Amino acid sequence: MTKKILKYGQVLCLSIFFSTFLSAAKWTFIVYIAGDNSLDTSLKGDQLKRDINKMEVAANSTDVNIIVLADKNGDGNTYLYKIQNDTDTFTINTPTITIANLLPSATTNELNTGDHATLVVFSTWTIANYPAENYCLVVWNHGGGWWPKSPKLKKGIAWDDTTDDNDYLTTAELGNALSTIKTYLGKNIDIIGLDACLMAQIEIAYQIKDSANYMVASEENEYGWPYDGILTELVSNPNYDPKTFSQKIVDIWDKAYSDEAVSYFSSVLDKRTASAVDLSKIGELAAAIDNFAYQLISTKKTIPLYLTRDAVDYYGESSNVQYGGIDIYDLAYIIEQNPDLDSASLRNSASNVMDSINDCVLANRVGSTHKNSHGLSINFPKTKDDWEIWNNPDGNYENLSFCQATNWDEFLADYYSKVTYGPQSLNYVVNAPNPYNPSTGNLTIKNFPDNSVINIKIYNLEGNLVREIDGSGTSVIWDGKNENGSTVASGIYFYAAKTQTDSCKGKITVIKK
């Protein structure tokens, strides 16, 4: 179906003149719910309905306005709300505001929330009608980090699946919308919240750094913000300054996700991440990453870099093929500690990146799966195919503002031009976890080329054969037992791996606790 596409000229007809006669609140909390997709279905637990009901938990307050634009799944059901307190957690009882109030030219209650002009019109209308000392603008939807409109997989934010072209906001469109809102407001938006998966990326933060002061988002997949806790806290403490409130959102978010009694949060309990970022420091971080990338190019050591990439904390699906996001700090830390990357300049540049992350990440909370995550990710796909097919089709990644300002995309291009991951090489075979505790599960020897016929021989420190394993494909599993079926003792072990084309060796540290 064709949906209404808003034009910037409609924004210009809005006037802040009347707002001078209104009493400014302490905060206006603006939520842009692009729910015209799978999030507003029973398959996803009706997250739109759930979250608005949670917003209604907050008490009514003259100090805090809660304004929501919600586009539900289907046609003719875009609604505008000024949230009112309601004890019924199953039904949205806040009265709707006629869409014509937002857009006088509207002839239907159906807006395209994948069009960045819709975000601009809604935000500027809210600012004009509900003025406040501080503004928090939350974009609610599916998310996929920096991704552009790719023919392979649509990834951005604010997907509207019932438009003719399944519209959504690219990173550039999000940046343009926030820049326009800033111009209208006459100052930076105080907090931009991204209630969507995988959005705490340097590429996103760099794109919006000049339009907002603080960003709250997740490096990993997420299941929504705990709006009841966040808004109850704000109503109770309306004098929060934006920095403190952004940190408080992260604390409340983490606490809610840590509650195993809340089923839709506990399902991502271990891999939860949430961070608050000072966007005024992003330029300094980008400069540090720029030098870091230059030093990475200069090392000429592809194999240690590949093994580092294999060990770093990453996000998205288990294979990390499509998304490619990794933790920036963890990457820098592993490189700084790697004796095979013995460049003083590289170590110094890695240290500067870590210092910059510590400066700009104000709050960071993680689950046990992401204990090495520090609040901001960066694009670093694992293999050349992941880069060329999924992450940089037609040079899309290289066109981002972050890439235009840094050498990071040049590093990726240089790195993938040298990676020889394929039938001709076993250079990237590794084992994990290492150190390995057999009581926690199996050890995997992996990164063999596709369709490999694999033979593994594991030896103890004295050179005695402990176990021989045959397998095929790209990996082999060892259960930590010897040929007699007994679990091996703690110590250092070595493996010799052979395929039909090549051979390699490696070391395994076994620690029994």
**Domain CATH for 204:** 3.40.50.11970
Domain boundary (277, 293, 319) is at 277
The verdict on 190 and 240 lying in the same domain is yes
Q: Give the amino acid at 487.
A: T
Contact 89, 57 (CB under 8 A): yes
Helix (H, G, I), strand (E, B) or coil at 120: helix
| CA separation for the pair 235, 243 (Å, rounded) | 16
Q: Would you tell me the crossing angle of helices 344-360 and 328-337 to the nearest 10 degrees? A: 150
**pLDDT reading at 406 higher than 50:** yes
pLDDT score, position 9:
46
Whether residue 9 is contained in a domain is answered as no
Tens of pLDDT along 97-156?
988 888 877 767 888 888 899 999 999 999 999 999 999 999 988 777 776 544 445 557
* Listed residues 216, 245, 277: the one ending a domain: 277
- Residue scoring higher pLDDT (327 or 12): 327
Residues 70 and 180 in one domain: yes
159 vs 206: which has the higher pLDDT = 206
pLDDT bin (cut points 50, 70, 90) of residue 2 is: very low
Residue 423 lies in a domain: no
Condensed to tens digits (0 to 9), the pLDDT of residues 475-494 reads: 999 999 999 999 999 999 99
Residue 232 lies in a domain: yes
- The number of distinct structural domains making up the chain is 3
**pLDDT tens digits for range 367-388:** 988 999 999 999 998 777 777 7
User: Is the same domain home to 383 and 335?
Assistant: yes
Least confident span in 2-16, 20-34, 367-381: 2-16
Q: Does pLDDT of 473 surpass 90? A: no
**What pLDDT, on the 0 to 100 scale, is given for residue 12?**
40
Which pLDDT score is estimated for 127? 97
- Round the average pLDDT of the chain to a whole number and report it: 86
User: 404 and 459 share a domain?
Assistant: no
Q: Is the pLDDT of residue 11 over 70?
A: no
In a domain, 10, yes or no: no
Closest CA to 330 of 338, 321, 318: 338
Rounded CA-CA distance 463/441 in Å is: 25
The pLDDT assigned to 423 comes to 46
248/302 same-domain check: no
Residues 328 and 381 both lie in one domain: yes
Same domain, 209 and 78: yes
Give the range among 8-12, 99-103, 278-282, 328-332 with minimum mean pLDDT: 8-12
- The more confident residue out of 18 and 143 is 143
Q: Is 110 inside any structural domain? A: yes
Task: Fill in the amino acid letter for 433.
Answer: P
Over pLDDT 90: what percentage of the chain? 54
User: Band of the pLDDT at 422, cuts 50, 70, 90?
Assistant: very low
457 and 321 share one domain: no
- What's the confidence (pLDDT) of residue 16? 42
Mean pLDDT of 36-47: 66
The answer to which of 1-15, 219-233, 298-312, 399-413 has the lowest mean pLDDT is 1-15
Domain match, 383 and 463 both: no
Specify whether 411 is located in the same domain as 437: no
pLDDT of residue 490: 94
Contacts of 27 (CB under 8 A, 6+ apart): 63, 64, 65, 132, 133, 134, 135, 136, 234, 238, 240, 245
Q: Average the pLDDT over each of 226-230, 314-318, 392-396 and give the range with the smallest value.
A: 392-396
Give the pLDDT confidence score for residue 316 in this predicted structure: 81
Residue 387, domain member (yes or no): yes
Residue of 48 and 388 predicted with greater confidence: 48
Check: CB of residue 113 under 8 Å from CB of residue 158.
Answer: yes
Residue ending a domain, among 398, 418, 438, is 418
DSSP 109: S
Closest by Cα among 111, 126, 118, 122 to 36: 111
Look up the domain containing 502 and give its range.
430-510
Query: In this predicted model, what pLDDT tens digit does every residue of 206-240 receive, in sequence order?
Result: 999 999 999 999 999 888 899 999 999 999 999 99
Highest average pLDDT, of 333-347, 389-403, 429-443, 456-470, comes from 456-470
The DSSP element (H or E) to which 141 belongs, if any, is none
pLDDT at 321 over 70: no
Looking at per-residue confidence, does 191 or 42 come out higher? Answer: 191
Among residues 319, 317, 315, 353, the alpha carbon closest in space to that of 334 is found at: 353
Q: Could you tell me where the DSSP H helices lie in 110-209?
A: 116-129, 171-185, 202-208
Q: What is the mean pLDDT of residues 306-319?
A: 80
Give yes or no: residues 233 and 212 share one domain. Answer: yes
Q: Does residue 264 surpass a pLDDT of 90?
A: no
The yes-or-no verdict on residue 267 having pLDDT over 80 is no
Residue 66 has pLDDT above 60, yes or no: yes
Q: Answer yes or no: is pLDDT of 245 > 80.
A: yes
Query: Within a domain: residue 2?
Result: no
Residues above pLDDT 70, as percent of the chain: 87
- Return left, alpha or beta for 329; rule: phi > 0 is left, psi -120 to 50 is alpha, else beta: alpha
**Same-domain status, 254 and 382:** no
Residue type, 347: R
> Is the pLDDT confidence value at 465 over 60?
yes
In a domain, 105, yes or no: yes
pTM: 0.81
